[in-house]
Structure 1
Amino acid sequence: MAQGEERGLRQGRRLHWAWLVAGVSFVTLIGAAGFRAVPSVLIDPLHEEFGWSRATISAAVSVNLVLFGLISPFAAALMDRLGMRRVVAGALVLVAAGSGLTVFMTASWQLLLCWGVLVGVGTGSMSMAFVATVTGRWFVRHRGLVSGVLTAAGATGQLVFLPLVAALATAHGWRTPALVVAGAALVVVPLVLTLLRDHPSDVGTTALGATRATAPVTVTGSSAARALRTLKDAAGTRTFWLLAAGFAICGASTNGLVGTHFVTAAHDHGMPHTMAASLLALIGIFDVAGTIFSGWLTDRMDPRLLLGGYYTLRGMSLLILPSLLAPDTEPSMWVFIIFYGLDWIATVPPTVALCRNRFGDAGPVVFGWVFASHQVGAALAAVGAGAIRDLRGSYDLAWFFAGGLCVVAALLSLSISPIRDPLLAETRR
């Protein structure tokens, strides 16, 4: 019997280490996302205490969102060189520092530094490129499904914390939830150091579903240079720009607009902050089912068609949202919450699949750049919607504009060629 077959039989008798890596990655992504739930709930408390405009506070959120995306490809390249465990543990400490230091703020530039820079860099090092790295190294079978589960962790983590953050802020002031989230990030660090492994060969196994062992790729030179070189190569393809443009709209219509401004917009219509935060948390709960199901579908369907459907349905829901906002939650609002939750970040598994299919081993880093566009779109929407609210006294125009952009994203996704790009062959040489 071949050595690879013997190894496979031994693995079949016990839990594959890949599931342990996926589990600790899931917990890590939820913990890292926790702090990113804070800004959307604390916009009004910070405005009331410091007198800062909503546009100023939203600008700090925008810096966070931009760095969350721009750091992603560099973090993916750094993981190839230093390993996931070191990068993720360091990033969690950085998130905790940024969260804890907010309690000492006295000026708006400090808000930009803590919420924007420190937390943006920390969370960006554990963003969706981390998901692409984990699934690419540890899974051959169930790769789409695991991508969906881990994506749900990152997206849902920032939503399910909202009721707790809102309750703590209402009862004890906004500083308490900031400290609680900082502590939560630190608690995850020992788990990462203990269970997260960089490659299957580190524990004498193979990726789940692999027929043979593969040696880790040795990476030398600057991680930043590799990330930039990968961008240069990918930017020469039509597929990259279609994915990046569509994902920018994805970020604008989720994290940037709904994730940042839904609570405030609902409060404008008379809904209590805690109730609005609970609705946003429900979006996160339904997102778990939607994103996992999307991962399952990605293993079986053309990812381009999935993206086209997701963006179209999301755009339609955003166009009707202004008519649903009210002091109480009517049945129509519950329908929106369920529907939008299922679609919230379901776009990630098919986008990850397209990046890996088109760009091979460079797929995680390429996805990091595509995800950077997602966060640029989110940042523009976050500050843009805040400015619209300040100027017009209503978010209605922001909802309508985002709905129209989602239709554009659907068309861009369907325009991606079903034929693999030549760059795929180059990356596999």
Structure 2
Amino acid sequence: MTQTAPTSTASPQAPRRPGRVHRAWFAAAVGFVTIIGAAGFASLPGLLIEPLHAEFDWSRGTIGFAVSVNLALYGLTAPFAAALMDRFGIRKVVAVALTVIAGGSLATVWMTASWQLVLFWGVLVGLGSGSMALAFAATVTNRWFTARRGLVTGILTAAGASGQLVFLPLLSWLVEHHGWRPASVTVSLTALAVVPFVWLLLRDHPADVGLAPYGGVYAPKPEPVPGAARRTVGVLLRATRTGPFWLLAGTFAICGATTNGLVRTHFVPASHDHGMPVTTAAGLLAVIGVFDVVGTIASGWFTDRFEARRLLAVYYALRGVSLLFLPMLLGPSVHPPMVFFIVFYGLDWVATVPPTIALCREHYGQDGAIVFGWVLASHQVGAALVAFLSGVARDAFGSYDLVWYAAGALCATAALMSMVIRRPGKARTPAAVGAP
């Protein structure tokens, strides 16, 4: 495919001097608030399992299947969303995604059969959420920043945790006192309210406002990249011929399995099995969100300064140890060892994201955001499998204990895989050059 020359029809011919605060930080702030506003969809699944089981008598495996469809589509949509943002712009893709999330969440209010839960929450919300979140964060970071990319990636990743902190206590209170339907409506309205914020305040590229990326040199805004689907698949085919891709995809699949698939989806019902009130368990998840913000931003700072693969190995090893101890800590009340677990696990929750994005960027150049989208797909496939299998295991054994132990073993495997990833300078391949 022939590369077209960049054009500056949408941007000034000469760059402007940035103000005292570079506009890139404003773009990061808009992205942060947008991800917070859309985070309600990630907070709700774990709160729906018991109410839907009680009202419709659906098995936890059936409900877990709908959540797994949501998580899988979240991941499989992400690489195409990154390419669509190159084709149509960030604003249009994110605005449409938020609207789809709002529609899918609102439609669940009128469902009467389990297939409708799969369609509305699994398919629609999954497609919408996959078109933004981490793919959105990676694209904003790559376009607006040359310096401080690790730090900004950590900040934007932490936005999801901040949204969890904001929404989990509110949604759990609504579910406990008014039922699950008002909670679904709240998620829908919040996602819809963010749409004008994105459309009016976010810009697709630094050249739109006549600036260079933060820490970089000015370049005119490139033409839209056609053939988004073809480009996305092509990047995948080139990346699959390299070893680092499979190691990153495998470790990130385990990351998704042990966070979104297991803890975010099943921690609340597992705690409830041990006599803990739902609101208390949801509050503990919110506290995880507090420390996740600290841990993820710190991880971004570390990623700018230390070798990313070693950071990943440490993060996965520590997570595995904490999960092995969790079955002994669950009980009807909150006690100091449980508080220690919540703090420790929260610091590690998505600390893996900044070094994973950095490795994708270092190994695959300008295709790094799309490659990360495919790595994120593996994250969500892992999350989807464990969300479903954990529900099946709970139905079969009456306990989540076996699931926690298996998750700890998976994390140990991910730590070993991280250390096998070669340094970028030793793994330059045709895929690493990045095709137009």
Q: Is the 8 A contact 2:165 2:289 kept in 1?
A: yes
Q: Is the 8 A contact 1:358 1:423 kept in 2?
A: no
Cα distance change on mapping 1:220 and 1:207 into 2, 3 Å: closer
Q: Does 1:254 align with 2:259?
A: yes
For 1:85, the equivalent position in structure 2 comes to 91
Match of 2:377 among 369, 372, 386: 372
How far residue 52 of structure 1 moved from its aligned partner, in angstroms, is 0.5
For 2:295, the equivalent position in structure 1 comes to 290
The CA RMSD measured in Å over matched residues stands at 1.5
How far residue 27 of structure 1 moved from its aligned partner, in angstroms, is 1.1
How far residue 214 of structure 1 moved from its aligned partner, in angstroms, is 1.9
Q: Report Cα offsets for 1:285-327 as digits up to 9, x if no partner.
A: 1000000000000000000000000000000000000000010
For 2:367, the equivalent position in structure 1 comes to 362
Q: Is the 8 A contact 2:172 2:279 kept in 1?
A: yes
TM-score relative to the length of structure 1: 0.96
For 2:177 and 2:351, locate their aligned partners in 1 and report how far apart those are by CA, in whole Å: 34
Q: Is the 8 A contact 1:68 1:123 kept in 2?
A: yes
How far residue 94 of structure 1 moved from its aligned partner, in angstroms, is 0.5
Match of 2:54 among 40, 48, 60: 48
For 1:89 and 1:334, locate their aligned partners in 2 and report how far apart those are by CA, in whole Å: 38
**What is the identity, as a one-letter code, of the residue corresponding to 1:354?**
L
Correspondence 1:17-416 to 2 at 5 A: 17-210=23-216, 212-416=217-421
For 1:151 and 1:300, locate their aligned partners in 2 and report how far apart those are by CA, in whole Å: 18
Q: Percent identity?
A: 60
**What is the identity, as a one-letter code, of the residue corresponding to 1:53?**
S
How far residue 181 of structure 1 moved from its aligned partner, in angstroms, is 1.2
**What is the identity, as a one-letter code, of the residue corresponding to 2:325?**
I
Structure 2 unpaired stretches of 5+: 1-13
For 1:300 and 1:340, locate their aligned partners in 2 and report how far apart those are by CA, in whole Å: 23
How many residue pairs match? The answer is 422
For 2:250 and 2:54, locate their aligned partners in 1 and report how far apart those are by CA, in whole Å: 37
Counterpart of 1:161 in 2: which secondary structure?
helix
How far residue 162 of structure 1 moved from its aligned partner, in angstroms, is 1.3
For 2:162 and 2:227, locate their aligned partners in 1 and report how far apart those are by CA, in whole Å: 33
Comparing 153-162 with 331-340, which one deviates more in the overlay? 153-162
How far residue 424 of structure 1 moved from its aligned partner, in angstroms, is 5.5
Comparing 180-189 with 151-160, which one deviates more in the overlay? 151-160
For 1:422 and 1:37, locate their aligned partners in 2 and report how far apart those are by CA, in whole Å: 40
How far residue 423 of structure 1 moved from its aligned partner, in angstroms, is 3.1
**What is the identity, as a one-letter code, of the residue corresponding to 1:325?**
L
Cα distance change on mapping 1:7 and 1:83 into 2, 3 Å: closer
For 1:385 and 1:157, locate their aligned partners in 2 and report how far apart those are by CA, in whole Å: 25
Match of 2:427 among 415, 420, 423: 420
Q: Report Cα offsets for 1:201-258 as digits up to 9, x if no partner.
A: 0011110111x21233434432111100000000000000000000000000000000
Cα distance change on mapping 1:60 and 1:425 into 2, 3 Å: closer
Structure 1 unpaired stretches of 5+: 1-5
How far residue 7 of structure 1 moved from its aligned partner, in angstroms, is 5.5
Q: Is the 8 A contact 2:158 2:296 kept in 1?
A: yes
**What is the identity, as a one-letter code, of the residue corresponding to 2:433?**
E
Q: Is the 8 A contact 2:242 2:431 kept in 1?
A: no
For 1:346 and 1:156, locate their aligned partners in 2 and report how far apart those are by CA, in whole Å: 14
Comparing 267-276 with 125-134, which one deviates more in the overlay? 125-134
For 1:218 and 1:196, locate their aligned partners in 2 and report how far apart those are by CA, in whole Å: 18
**What is the identity, as a one-letter code, of the residue corresponding to 2:51?**
P
Counterpart of 2:67 in 1: which secondary structure?
helix
Q: Is the 8 A contact 2:208 2:221 kept in 1?
A: no
For 1:156 and 1:346, locate their aligned partners in 2 and report how far apart those are by CA, in whole Å: 14
TM-score relative to the length of structure 2: 0.94
